[in-house]
């Protein structure tokens, strides 16, 4: 638990900053919300005003309604909100994702949101930020998680796709973030062929195109003329689409799931999708440790997933003051349920 008189406290609505009269990624409707990024477990509907990085505006409006009151900010810009000074810093997680730094009465706190440190051509790179107190996520807070570069994984995906010219290749990716990252990585490898998209991925393409992210040409699967062969085509759909309709013509497809969870064989076999590609938009173990070190924080709180494991490691091995932060941070996340990781 956070001390009751600290700069940030935990209320039933979520992380609250009294000095700014604002909540960060609140779980319930509040008058003023500071949003780290547009994933559904961080940006929820019904708040009076939303502060978020400008490049996430398109997605936030697509998901929370076009009429929301949104105050777009730039990375690094310093804002005075109430008695606090607030700045948003790139988190490298998805388009427009931010870490939020709050400073008041001589103390600074950094809320990491979701973040990753490896290169991602679909969003701005992670920026190391210093603060007195760090609240970090720990979705993949175990030393078994360590990522290869996105380009290396994309090269594996291309090899897999090319190995099946006689059938479609169905790549299951979270609709917002992962799908566009994969597309951008493919473009980086020189892929120029049209990729087919499930409707829910298609809906989020426009903000990425507007942001100037280079991706291969795409087309909604539903717009493909009936009877046209899908052999050798790459189709990107969210994991949930396997159960629903809207994937016509894909009965014979080879399928693969793209997620950090795929690092573990049991998790992959449980999904029953065959191949798994290990690509995550969250920090891996070395990335989490590096971020804690870079922050030079004297106190670390850990949320999400492996919060108690990472906190214990920071205490016992790194000699830092660290504790898990309980609350409705989806204490235990699962592969394929909901949206991230």
Partner 1 sequence: MNRFSALFSQLDGTTRTGAKLEALEHYFRSADPADAAWALALLLGKRRRRLITGRRLREICLQATGLPDWLFEACHSQVGDSAETVALLWQQARPSGLEAEPPQDAAANQASQVPLHQWMEQRLPRLAALQGEEQAAAVGVCWAALPADHLLLVNKLLTGGFRVGVSTGLVTRALARSADLEEALLAHRLMGGFEPSAEAFTTLLLPAEQGQELRTRPYPFFLASPLEPGQLEPTAPGSWQVEWKWDGIRGQLIHRKAGCSLWSRGEDLINDAFPELIALAAALPEATVLDGEVIIWRRGEPRPEPFASLQRRLGRKAPSAALQRECPACFIAYDLLEQGGEDLRELPLQQRRQRLETLHRQWLRSCGDGPLAGRLQLSGTEVLEHWSGLDDLRDQARSRSAEGLMLKALDSPYLVGRKRGFWWKHKLEPLRLDAVLLYAQAGSGRRANLYTDYSFGLWDGDPAGGGQLVTFAKAYSGLDDSEIRELDRWIRAHTTERFGPVRSVQPLQVFELAFEGLQRSRRHKCGIAVRFPRIARWRRDKPASEADSLASALALLEAQA
Q: Pairing state of beta strands 8-11 and 14-17?
A: antiparallel
Q: Tell me phi and psi for residue 81, to 5 degrees.
A: -120, 115
1 versus 331: smaller Cβ distance to partner 1: 331
11 versus 148: smaller Cβ distance to partner 1: 148
Give the shortest CB-318-to-partner 1 separation in angstroms: 12
Tokens matching residue 213: 């992210």
Name the site residues for partner 1 (rule: CB under 8 A). 117-118, 142-144, 146, 148-149, 152, 254, 256, 263-267, 269-270, 272-276, 285-287, 290, 306, 309, 312-313, 316-317, 331-332, 334, 337
103 versus 339: smaller Cβ distance to partner 1: 339
Report how far residue 172's alpha carbon sits from residue 56's, in angstroms, rounded to the nearest whole number.
23
11 versus 290: smaller Cβ distance to partner 1: 290
Helix (H) or strand (E) holding 206: helix 205-210
Tokens matching residue 139: 């979705």
Sheet with 254-258: list strands edge to edge: 218-220, 195-197, 234-237, 169-172, 254-258, 275-277
Give the shortest CB-310-to-partner 1 separation in angstroms: 10
Cβ burial of 309 (10 Å; 0-12, 13-18, 19+) is middle
240 DSSP 8-state letter: G
Q: Give the Cβ contact number of residue 27 at 10 Å.
A: 18
Q: Quick one: which of 180, 195, 191 has its CA closest to 158? A: 191
Give the shortest CB-282-to-partner 1 separation in angstroms: 15
Report how far residue 295's alpha carbon sits from residue 101's, in angstroms, rounded to the nearest whole number.
11
How far, rounded to the nearest angstrom, does the alpha carbon of residue 222 sit from its chain's CA centroid?
A: 27
Q: Give the Cβ contact number of residue 155 at 10 Å.
A: 16
Give the shortest CB-265-to-partner 1 separation in angstroms: 6
Give the shortest CB-68-to-partner 1 separation in angstroms: 30
Give the shortest CB-219-to-partner 1 separation in angstroms: 26
3 versus 317: smaller Cβ distance to partner 1: 317
208 versus 329: smaller Cβ distance to partner 1: 329
341, 281 in Cβ contact below 8 A?
yes
199 versus 240: smaller Cβ distance to partner 1: 240
Give the shortest CB-295-to-partner 1 separation in angstroms: 16
211 versus 267: smaller Cβ distance to partner 1: 267
Give the shortest CB-188-to-partner 1 separation in angstroms: 16
């Amino acid at each position: 638990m956070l001390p009751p008189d600290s700069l940030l406290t935990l209320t039933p609505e979520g992380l609250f900053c009294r000095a700014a009269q604002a909540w960060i990624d609140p779980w319930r409707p509040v008058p003023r919300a500071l949003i780290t990024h547009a994933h559904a477990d961080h940006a929820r509907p019904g708040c009076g005003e939303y502060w978020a990085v400008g490049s996430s505006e398109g997605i936030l409006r697509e998901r929370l309604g076009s009429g929301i009151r949104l105050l777009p900010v730039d990375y690094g810009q310093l804002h005075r909100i109430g008695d606090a000074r607030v700045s948003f810093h790139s988190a490298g997680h998805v388009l427009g994702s931010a870490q939020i730094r709050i400073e008041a009465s001589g103390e600074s706190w950094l809320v990491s949101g979701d973040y990753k440190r490896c290169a991602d051509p679909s969003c701005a790179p992670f920026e190391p930020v210093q603060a007195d107190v760090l609240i970090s996520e720990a979705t993949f807070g175990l030393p078994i998680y360590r990522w290869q570069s996105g380009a290396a994984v994309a090269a594996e995906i291309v090899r897999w796709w090319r190995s099946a010219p006689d059938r479609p290749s169905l790549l299951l990716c979270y609709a917002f973030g992962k799908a566009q990252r994969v597309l951008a990585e493919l473009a980086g490898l020189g892929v120029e062929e049209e990729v087919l998209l499930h409707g829910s991925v298609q809906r989020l393409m426009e903000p990425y195109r507007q942001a100037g992210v280079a991706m291969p040409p795409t087309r909604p699967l539903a717009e493909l003329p009936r009877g046209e062969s899908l052999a050798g085509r790459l189709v990107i759909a969210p994991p949930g689409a396997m159960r629903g309709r809207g994937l016509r013509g894909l009965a014979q497809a080879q399928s693969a799931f793209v997620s950090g969870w795929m690092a573990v064989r049991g998790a992959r076999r449980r999904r029953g999708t065959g191949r798994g590609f290990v690509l995550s938009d969250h920090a891996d173990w070395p990335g989490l440790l590096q971020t804690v070190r870079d922050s030079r924080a004297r106190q670390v709180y850990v949320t999400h997933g492996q919060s108690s494991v990472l906190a214990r490691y920071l205490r016992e091995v790194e000699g830092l003051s660290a504790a898990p932060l309980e609350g409705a941070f989806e204490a235990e996340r699962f592969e394929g349920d909901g949206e991230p990781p």
